[in-house]
Amino acid sequence: MRAWLCENPIGVDALQWKSLDTPEPGPNEVLIAVKAASLNFPDLLIVQNKYQMKPPLPFVPGAEYAGVVEAVGANVKHLVAGQSVACLSGTGGFGTHVVAPAALCVPLPPNFPLVDAAAFIMTYATSHHALIDRAALKSGETVLLLGAAGGVGTAAIQIAKAVGATVIAAASTDAKCAACTQLGADHVINYTTENLRDRLKELTQGQGPNVVYDPVGGDIAEAALRSIAWRGRYLVVGFAAGPIPALPWNLVLLKGASLVGVFWGEFAKRQPKDNAAMMGELIIWYLQGKIKPHIDATLPMSELKHAFQRMGQRDVVGKLVMVN
Ligand SMILES: NC(=O)c1ccc[n+]([C@@H]2O[C@H](COP(=O)([O-])OP(=O)(O)OC[C@H]3O[C@@H](n4cnc5c(N)ncnc54)[C@H](OP(=O)(O)O)[C@@H]3O)[C@@H](O)[C@H]2O)c1
């Protein structure tokens, strides 16, 4: 097998495309031939030692992937060789093969495209958990999505529309804003060229958005919080811009607002039944055509460094997927 090996987590440049022995699955594991693996922002952080999870070295990055089971461990009952699965195991996906815990593998319905399957779990689960579980977003409410053209952002557009909310998508370029409109956003704001607060006032008749979904952090966060509606919910999803905002708490008081943390991975661990029910609903929505990952590009696995470069330069709409 071949895989991108991280022996020293000092950044993307240090990754090496290496030949390795193909591992045998342990009793509760399966060996998967990876067909597709998508990039998520945490993949970029983990190879720089900037992510909360720090795997033992060396490791193969690639949190999320889909492929075909080639061998199953002695205790594995629910999967067989030849079965297509999607898996989010945190590492291992950026290679030709991976050994994964069987319990983390989601058997796929027949004909589920493997590129979509590899680009599904992290973004849709995060955005569903954030908008529906944590913010209780309802039909008729308005949600502001920051970084709306990114991975979790594009999933959030579709999920917010699926529950009947009005979506204001905010992004850094006109091309990204146009993509958000195509994905179903009702309104768009280019936060590089337009004043976020003025535009939000215009679009919400001075009321502000009921929910703010923020995977970006940085400077834009304070303007978004200042604009939130009475009893609004501000979802802290991530800090793609780098700096973790330090916001004046009086803004929360003045709006009777809630600052709500979102940590989907921990939710999945602590509330596995709730997470499974949520994934079930997402798969039904996919099969009904309500949601579908927006794939910016599929690239050969060997071009991972180029893909990481594009993600780091904010040059991706939706998801990049590496394929074998
Ligand atoms: N809390 C959770 O459970 C959870 C789960 C998954 C992901 N996340 C977090 O959510 C965030 C987004 O993840 P993602 O996979 O959707 O990433 P992504 O596809 O790269 O999207 C991130 C967006 O952030 C914006 N951005 C602003 N400044 C940036 C910068 N300096 N570098 C890169 N992007 C920048 C970009 O939009 P514009 O160019 O339009 O500004 C970009 O589209 C990350 O912080 C990730 O760690 C959290």
Quick: pLDDT tens for 257-285.
Answer: 999 999 999 999 999 999 999 999 999 99
Tens-place pLDDT, residues 295-318: 999 999 999 999 999 999 999 999
- Give yes or no for residue 288 having a pLDDT over 90: yes
Amino acid 110: pLDDT: 86
Mean pLDDT within 119-124:
98
For residue 237, the ligand 1 atom closest to its alpha carbon is 1
What letter does residue 221 receive in the DSSP assignment? H
AA letter at 119: A
Mean pLDDT within 46-63:
96
Percent above pLDDT 90 for the chain: 98
Amino acid 71: pLDDT: 98
Ligand 1 centroid to 72 CA: how many Å?
35
The answer for residues whose C-beta is within 8 angstroms of residue 274's C-beta and 6 or more apart is 133, 267
Predicted TM-score (pTM) of this structure: 0.97
What letter does residue 161 receive in the DSSP assignment? H
* Residue carrying the six token digits 């602590």: 270
For residue 176, the ligand 1 atom closest to its alpha carbon is 40
For residue 147, the ligand 1 atom closest to its alpha carbon is 37
Distance CA 149, CA 171 (A): 6
Ligand 1 centroid to 237 CA: how many Å?
9
Burial of 26 (0-12, 13-18, 19+ CB in 10 A): middle
* Residue carrying the six token digits 């409109």: 181
Percent above pLDDT 70 for the chain: 100
* Whole-number average pLDDT of the chain: 97
For residue 123, the ligand 1 atom closest to its alpha carbon is 6
Cα 322 to chain centroid, rounded:
15
Residue of 51, 121, 157, 216 to test ligand 1 pocket, by largest number of atoms within 8 Å of CB: 216
Amino acid 100: pLDDT: 98
Which residue in 308, 134, 312 sits closest to 240, CA to CA?
312
| Residue list, ligand 1 pocket, CB within 6 Å | 40-42, 122, 126, 147, 149-153, 171-172, 176, 215-216, 237-242, 262-265, 311, 314, 316
Amino acid 229: pLDDT: 98
The neighbouring-strand residues paired with 188 are: 169
* Residue carrying the six token digits 């991280």: 6
Ligand 1 centroid to 5 CA: how many Å?
24
Split at pLDDT 50, 70, 90, the class of 111 is confident
- Give yes or no for residue 256 having a pLDDT over 90: yes
